[in-house]
Structure 1
Amino acid sequence: MFNLDQLATLKAVVEDGTVASAAARLGYSPSAVSQQLARLESDARQVLMRKQGRNIVPTDAAHVLVRVAGEMASLEERARAELELLTYRVSGAITLGAFPTAVRGISVAAIAALHERHPGVTVTLRDAPPEPGLAGVARGDLDLALIHDWTEDHLQIPSGVVTSHLGTDPVDLVLPVGHRLAGQEIIDIADLDGENWVNDSPGICSRQLLQSLRDRALDYRISCVLDDYQSQVCATAYGLGLSLLPRLGREPLPDSVVAVPLVDPPTRRILIAYRRDSDQRPALQALVRELTAAWEGVAG
Structure 2
Amino acid sequence: MTASSPTVHVIDTGFHRPRFDAAYLLVHDGRAAFIDCGLNSSVPRLLQALERAGLGVEAVDWLILTHVHLDHAGGAGELMARLPQAGLLVHPRGARHMVDPTALVAGATAVYGAEEVERTYGTLRPVPADRVVEARDGLHVEVGGLRLRCLDAPGHARHHIVIHHEAERAFFTGDTFGLSYRELDGPSGPFILPTTTPVQFDPEALKASILRMLAAGPERMYLTHYGPVDNVERLAGELFEQIDAMVAIARGHADLAPGPRHAALVAALGRLYTERAAAAAVPCSEAEVLELLHMDIELNAQGLGVWLDREAASGR
Question: TM-score, with normalisation over the residues of structure 1?
Answer: 0.30
Question: TM-score, with normalisation over the residues of structure 2?
Answer: 0.29
Kindly indicate whether structure 1 or structure 2 has the higher relative contact order, using CA contacts under 8 Å at least 6 residues apart: 1
